[in-house]
Amino acid sequence: MRAFAKSLPAPVRDPVHSDVPEVHGAELASLYCGPRRAGDFYDFFRVSPNRVLFGLLDAAGGRKDTRDILSAAQHTFQTVGSELFARRDINAADAMMQLCLQLNQVILKAADGVHSCPAFAGCYDETLGVVCYFNAGHTPGLLRDHAGIIELPATGLPLGLFSHMISDASMVAVQPGAILLLASRGLIEGKRKAEEFGLQRVKEVLQQSKAARAKEVCVSVLDQLQQFMRTAPTHDDVTTLSLFRNSQEHHLGPH
């Protein structure tokens, strides 16, 4: 498989979140609290007639320290991701691992050395109703369906640590009515006195949520965090990203 990073110079700019793509039979949304202070960044965009790519990155450090890193990572995520997943006959797991490798290399280059950047990236196949993903040292993704909630734990180390590091890719089915939620570390580590909000509370909010839209899921989690902290979070970036598959099943043929 060809390497892309060397031929794709990234412009130095503040990364700009893409418009939310229309997803056949599902919805994507992302929300965050307050002004951006640290290294959270999300993105999502269509890469083929039946696939949508999404990701949440959490580069260590303040916004000033991570600006160039996130800009380079977004450029690679969009250009390399689009090329890898555009073909009809791809092996999704191989493409996802190649994307992980290219992101890792460009983060190391942009940082001019080691710079930890946990990341979760997934590609949703609308025809199959599955997500192929890697979790490079990020907080676990949470998938809620009729059977309960399962965690999508780390499949490798954070990006930006080792030059030839690569995370494994996994596949998970998103059943009709299911919700996939990603939460940044800042949300998990939100504190009231010495007590953290924690992943377990996120799971409880997700399990109890009656939300029927992707954005509503994000809102409910952020609301519960602020109620727990009794103040707006200022300790770190706090970001959520959700994929909600409609409960009504539709046949998804070629688009």
Tell me the per-residue pLDDT of 114-149, one tens digit each, with 9 for 90 and over: 999 999 999 999 999 999 999 999 999 999 999 999
CA atoms within 13 A on the CB side of 127: 8
Burial 17-30, CB ≥16 within 10 A → b, else e: ebebeebebbbbbb
The 10s digit of each residue's pLDDT in 200-220 is: 999 999 999 988 899 999 999
Residue 132: partners with Cβ closer than 8 Å, 6 or more residues away: 92, 93, 95, 96, 122, 123, 125, 169, 170, 171
- The region of weakest confidence among 80-84, 220-224, 248-252 is 248-252
Tell me the C-alpha distance between 30 and 44, whole Å: 9
Per the CB < 8 A criterion, the answer to whether 122 and 168 are in contact is: no
How high is the pLDDT of residue 203? 96
d(CA 99, CA 83): 10
Residue 180: CB atoms within 10 A of its CB come to 27
Q: How far apart are CA 20 and CA 44, in angstroms?
A: 7
Predicted confidence at residue 17, as pLDDT, reads: 63
For 128: left if phi > 0, alpha if psi spans -120 to 50, otherwise beta; the answer is alpha
pLDDT at 7 over 80: no
Q: Tell me, what's the pLDDT at 3?
A: 30
**Residue 12 pLDDT grade (very low, low, confident, very high; cuts 50, 70, 90):** very low
> Of the CATH numbers 3.30.1330.40, 3.90.1150.110, 3.60.40.10, 3.40.50.1370, which one belongs to the domain with range 5-245?
3.60.40.10
Region of 157 please: left (phi>0), alpha (psi -120 to 50) or beta.
beta
**Could you tell me the pLDDT band of residue 18, with boundaries at 50, 70 and 90?**
low
> What is d(CA 177, CA 133) in angstroms, rounded to the nearest whole number?
20
For residues 85-96, give the mean pLDDT: 92
Percent of the chain beyond pLDDT 70?
88
Residue 2 has pLDDT above 70, yes or no: no
Q: Residue 246: count other Cβ atoms within 10 Å of its Cβ.
A: 16
Tens of pLDDT, residue by residue over 164-188, are 887 899 999 999 999 999 999 989 9
Q: Residue 15 — pLDDT band, cuts 50, 70, 90?
A: low
* Contact by Cβ (8 Å): 149, 203: yes
In the chain, where the domains are located? 5-245
